[in-house]
Structure 1
């Protein structure tokens, strides 16, 4: 059993993470960041939940770059092959659920 107070989590580096669970190869991790990630395509599907803060998620849809602003409680689902990058606006805490070892 685990209780995690996400608002108390902070890393000493951008995209630092706390592992929460690994359920049959699906990982759940809490990330803290104040800097953008990098454009990438995950090896599998990814669920991205903003727990605290605001994130602009940029993604490509049929080669066209688009963006959506995610606020606390919002969820972004990246299907296989979705190229995307997260740009936080200040400090954010994000729950990420993805296949173990995913990019």
Structure 2
């Protein structure tokens, strides 16, 4: 699992279109969600409230990873903060009619 790798200190995780074992989705603002994707592949049963210790541990690992990664991302030109680029990307994404998952 990607977060397990991050928790162990790994800084890079690879996602290959069509071959990913784990998939992303939008999480509620200011709240993590947790799913057992083997038992619940549709991610319908949020386990975060039942596993607060695990969520806290993964949150801590993710925060450390992000704090290490973000400055490197900015230094390489990622998320440069150009508001026009952000608006263009938002406009493109809102009008997207293609697939939203590699499993469709």
- Would the TM-score normalized by the shorter structure come out above 0.5? no
| Larger Rg belongs to | 2
Which structure shows the bigger proportion of residues in strand conformation? Answer: 1
TM category, shorter: under 0.3
| TM-score of the aligned structures, taking structure 1 as reference length | 0.22
Query: Which structure's relative contact order is higher, taking Cα pairs within 8 Å and 6+ residues apart?
Result: 1
